[in-house]
A and B are shown apart, each in its own frame.
Chain A
């Protein structure tokens, strides 16, 4: 029980740290870059909105840094992220809400598939070390995982969209479509998602395979595995329950972080395919120097990772008895 409380405590503290980093960063940079942003938008947005932004970024305000800080914390925790200057008069919250589902569906599902598949392949190739599967699949996927995301995306785009014309050039759905839960629209969305999904799968699966395989090999040398063999247990049982269950622990740790990359690592993929998700929006915000939107997207990505880490902590609690006794 105290383990659970501690993990929740960590959650709160880390969330606070991230909020603080978000607050400090623009103020830390030489010649607060927010000033330039304000100057560009003066006159184009109304005074009240501008004033709120000035407080958020510490420009032209008589408030002390401390009261700015608490003002910022309060606003953010209550969901007042401010106004997006790029998509004015939409608030940041409205803008983000339109993008989040795209990213969750595309990158979330793809990453989970990649993790499950990669862990399985890694486990089997670690178990059958030196087999045909072990000498072909891991090296191939390890090499593909070294490919830059955007480069794989560009190649797939060149091959399947530009040259062969099998898949659409980009975006999440066809402009001619109406959005809704019709089979036609869902098919169209899948059509647009296949290349980005393949890109993420190709580049992410190697990492899972390699770490799982290495863990598996280390675990297989353990006495309890030898013991299981001596007892004459079935190979499948030894692989899954004895070796696999222990070897998966470091991989799970990695997965927590990778779910954060669910939102973030796909930024470049979304950029290449103009996929209307959070990553694409983040780069859009950066290019337009829309710092309020940028900060919120950064925070959102961070919170996603935090939640993922928390979930994995609880899974580890179930899988690894040592975390229960030694803490």
Chain B
């Protein structure tokens, strides 16, 4: 009979993958692979990133060109129909991704840096420093974000995207700072921090290497929250007509759709699709939150094992 060729049987490959996944370096990958919600979030985000980077690949039409039949129903040429100005809805949707995504990431990142810097520092330093920083946080916290944005937008008609981002960051960091401060405050009297202090570690070192790693999940949650907030606030502002009406974004699409009564006039996709896109981008950020409570907080894992042992 034919000799059996020696090679890695399929079982060994699976074992290899499993070993890769279980390694310490594979923590992130394992959490993402093992968590379907996080997986969905990552895939969605990756898809939007692709749309933002290479819109031409998916939609060759010029999103602003008013050259097609007006208010056409979906067809092979226009997957989602056309607007009442004769623009291709699908092209607008794809090309609008970039602005929404950029605003979300930039605002999320900047706001998170601010929240961590102010919230954790306040909690750790305590005393007068805490009072002053908390007061500062409170001031920004009590200024309700959306009305303030509306008011500023009303004063500075057509302010441009830089003002939009600045205002969203200024109004978006305080919530996270307060949350992070509460958690850091509860960590303050923990043994490992007392030990670090007794070792004579410098303050910034304790904050960066002792406190922050234990708060990773909350920090990531804050980034995702701030990004989500930016997506929704920017879209809301554009929807009520306080954004730049000629910009290419989902909120602006909704504004024009609402202005032309797209829902009643038989072009529901013009209004529904940008809304779904906003919701999906926001949903991606929300779903990713699930992954990070497992990655960032080692305390979660023992609890899980304990539960499995108790109720089989």
Q: A residues near B, CB below 8 A?
A: 6, 10, 13-14, 17-18, 21, 25-26, 29-30, 33, 129-130, 139, 142-143, 145-151, 154-155, 158, 162, 206, 210-211, 214, 217-218, 220-221, 249-250, 253-254, 256-257, 260-261, 263-265, 267-268, 271, 282-283, 286, 289, 291, 294-295, 297-298, 301-302, 305-306, 309, 322, 326
| Residues on B with beta carbons closer than 8 Å to the beta carbon of A146 | 228, 232, 279, 281-283, 285-286
- Within the complex, the shortest CB–CB distance from A137 to chain B, in Å, comes to 13
Interface flags, B134-170, vs A, CB<8A=1, else 0: 1100110111111110111111110000000000000
The A interface, classified by DSSP as helix, strand, loop or mixed, is helix
| Complex Cα–Cα for A14 and B290 (A) | 35
The answer to whether A143 touches B179 (Cβ under 8 A) is: no
| Cross-interface CB contact of A148 among B153, B218, B278, B290, cutoff 8 Å | B278
The answer to whether A148 touches B275 (Cβ under 8 A) is: yes
Contact count A vs B, C-beta below 8 Å: 179
The answer to whether B287 touches A282 (Cβ under 8 A) is: no
| Residues on A with beta carbons closer than 8 Å to the beta carbon of B289 | 142, 210, 214
Q: Which residue of A lies closest to B234 (CB)?
A: A148
The answer to whether A250 touches B144 (Cβ under 8 A) is: no
Is residue B62 within 8 Å, beta carbon to beta carbon, of the partner chain?
no
Is residue B240 within 8 Å, beta carbon to beta carbon, of the partner chain?
yes
| Complex Cα–Cα for A149 and B289 (A) | 20
Kindly list the 4 A-B residue pairs having the minimum CB-CB distance in the complex, ordered from nearest: A146-B282, A151-B275, A221-B299, A264-B144
**Contact-residue bracket for chain B:** 35 or more
Is residue B304 within 8 Å, beta carbon to beta carbon, of the partner chain?
yes
Q: Which residue of B lies closest to A15 (CB)?
A: B142
The answer to whether B143 touches A21 (Cβ under 8 A) is: yes
- Within the complex, the shortest CB–CB distance from B254 to chain A, in Å, comes to 8
The answer to whether B303 touches A220 (Cβ under 8 A) is: yes
Is residue B230 within 8 Å, beta carbon to beta carbon, of the partner chain?
no
Is residue B221 within 8 Å, beta carbon to beta carbon, of the partner chain?
yes
The answer to whether B236 touches A162 (Cβ under 8 A) is: no
The answer to whether B141 touches A148 (Cβ under 8 A) is: no
The answer to whether A249 touches B154 (Cβ under 8 A) is: no
Is residue B110 within 8 Å, beta carbon to beta carbon, of the partner chain?
no
| Contact A147/B240 with A21-B143, A322-B186 known, Cβ cut-off 8 Å | no
